[in-house]
Chains A and B, each alone.
Chain A
Amino acid sequence: MDSRQVLIITNNPMVKNTNNAEICFVIGDCGQVLYQVFNQVAMGRRLLSHPLAGSIKFEDNPYRSVVLSKPETDVDLSTLAMLEKCLEKVEAGVRERTAAKGGLAFARDFQMIDKELLDEAMQALGERQV
């Protein structure tokens, strides 16, 4: 797959300038990234990577990068339903935020882990046609 055909929505500065893909850089937290993902899926893009990280708490990890396809003609309603569930989890987590200062203190490590997950996704996507 040509990486230029995808959109990466991210708030991770380490991702901002490192890909050939179209980048939508969000100034805000993971919740803000997911709202932008929701908007783009509602406009017809397909979700290619899962919106949540694996085994890192949403409210502690300040960075998230999500990959979407180019726009299609119809809207994927099942993905919108899934995103609603994810947003519900993220918003519940924000109410009980834990390591806010810690997260900032180790920003580079969080950015690196998010970029690793993105690189895994881009590598997997690069091996196929969409």
Chain B
Amino acid sequence: MQLELGNILVKDVQWGSRSEIRKGVVYVNRQELLDTLKDDRLARIDIDIVRPGDAVRICPVKDVLEPRVKVEGKGQVFPGFFGNAEMVGSGKTNVLKGMTVLTVGKIVGFQEGIIDMSGSGAEYTPFSRTINLVLLCDQADGLPQHEHEEAVRMAGLKATRYISQLAANVTPDESVTFATKPLAQQMAEFSGLPKVAYVYMLQTQGLMHDTYLYGLDVKKILPTFLYPTEVMDGAVISGNCVSACDKNTTYHHMNNPVIADLLARHGQDLNFIGVVATNENVTLLDKERSSNFTAKLVESLGVEGVIISEEGFGNPDADLIMNCRKIEALGIKTILITDEYAGRDGASQSLADGNPLANAVVSGGNANAVIELPPMPKVIGYIDAVEIIAGGFDGALKKDGSITVEIQAITGATNELGFNRMGALEF
């Protein structure tokens, strides 16, 4: 399966009398976009444009998406939500690089997700460096939380699709091609290079904790095989809006750096066989079943090593360790990517589970680390949630608008795909 991503480098996003892209500037007819998003479940949708360096705080962020559109090949971006769930990941896809569609919605009171476009907090989130089209979505009176979540999720998908279609006939500024072959052919390639797969754990525990694959709720799947490029066409989308620092937004999925880096080294110093998508369930039997199937699938791929990325924390730590333990027992090396809840001093136990076989672990950072965020003149959303959200605490929001929080409140701060801005300089 071969996919060419054509990046259109976005210089700015502005309101315009008609929606179009000219000389790298995305012009949006605000009313036309609002009409596209009309949904009786949402009492109000407000749209704003924010840019890197703006004195703006956005909270609570639900999802972040990147506009992409198929220009050649089968299917549509976000398959299963649009179209008939045709297989994606081949042909050509245009990408509006440097901008996002970002949804804000207060679905439950303790919901988290801060993005500061400037100041100290901006250093912890990748979305302070993108131009963001922000959708603030308030629910209609009496709307159940399930439906509010779905309405905001669909608003994000529809707005992203609307913007992306403007890029269908634009010549990209740069393009890059990714390719992997069907299993038997891929196994035969690159003799002498180690064969590697990627185990992609997805948060799937119910309301506010869900992820979708080709439109299907991932808690209902058995672990399954994906070509790496399917993910780049929006095969995986996020319905997960808890734990801002280590949830994977849809943008993270589309730009998964584990997949990107494995493909960059594909044929150079490893043979990237493919992706095993799996879930993180609630019952222990479901966890056992999924990890058993994951290990079986990895074994059947004939690989010598896997990278496993977790999403979230708490009971998913058990899934991470089960996957590690069962794959290592087959003689296949594992490298885990997670983050830590090691207390504010970083001295406590980092994960809720562990095993001596988990001896190669990459950390996205300590989510309990505390940061001071300066006051911001403009807030999009509901900042009163800061004292409630994970990582906020009593007295966190001061009268001058400054905030003391753990970095777990910041969207993407300790991302477990490695899509974050922190790293160790020495250890």
Contacts and interface: CB of A to CB of B under 8 A. Distances in A.
Interface of A: 47-58, 60, 67, 82, 85-86, 88-89, 92-93, 95-103, 105-106, 109-110, 112-113, 116-117, 119-121, 124-125, 128
B310 to A, nearest CB: 10
A51 B247 CA distance: 21
Nearest to B406: A98
19 contacts: A50-B284, A53-B315, A54-B205, A54-B314, A54-B316, A55-B243, A57-B314, A57-B341, A85-B349, A85-B353, A92-B349, A98-B393, A99-B390, A102-B109, A106-B108, A109-B145, A112-B145, A116-B206, A120-B206
Given A98-B393, A102-B392, 15 more contacts: A50-B283, A52-B315, A52-B318, A55-B314, A56-B314, A86-B352, A89-B341, A102-B393, A105-B388, A109-B110, A112-B108, A117-B206, A119-B206, A120-B219, A125-B285
Contact of A101 (B209, B281, B284, B394): B394
**Chain A CB within 10 A, most for which of B242, B281, B282, B349:** B282
Contact of B287 (A50, A53, A97, A120): A50
B224 to A, nearest CB: 19
B110 A103 contact: yes
A120 B282 contact: yes
Nearest to A47: B284
A60 B388 CA distance: 9
Contacts of B272: none
Nearest to B107: A109
Contacts of A97: 393
Interface string B118-162: 000000000000000000000000000100000000000000000
B389 A121 contact: no
Contact of A50 (B240, B282, B344): B282
B282 A113 contact: no
Given A85-B354, A89-B352, A102-B388, A49 B108 contact: no
Contact of A48 (B284, B318, B341): B284
A110 B318 CA distance: 22
B37 to A, nearest CB: 25
**Chain A CB within 10 A, most for which of B242, B368, B389, B390:** B390
Interface residues of B, number: 50
A117 B392 contact: no
A48 B283 CA distance: 6
Interface in B68-120: 108-110
A99 B388 contact: yes
B357 to A, nearest CB: 15
B246 interface: yes
B203 interface: yes
B109 A99 contact: no
Interface string B374-397: 000000000000011111111000
Nearest to B242: A55
Contact of A49 (B284, B317, B393): B284
Interface string B340-365: 01011000110011100000000000
B390 A60 contact: yes
Contacts of B240: 55
Contact of B393 (A92, A99, A116, A128): A99
Contacts of A50: 282-284, 287, 315, 318
**Chain A CB within 10 A, most for which of B207, B343, B354:** B207
A54 B389 contact: no
B309 to A, nearest CB: 14
**Chain A CB within 10 A, most for which of B145, B209, B316, B389:** B209
A99 B394 contact: yes
Contacts of A125: 283, 285
Given A49-B284, A54-B280, A124-B283, A92 B348 contact: yes
Interface string B256-282: 000000000000000000000000111
**Chain A CB within 10 A, most for which of B110, B203, B242:** B110
Contact of B207 (A57, A101, A105, A113): A113
B269 to A, nearest CB: 34
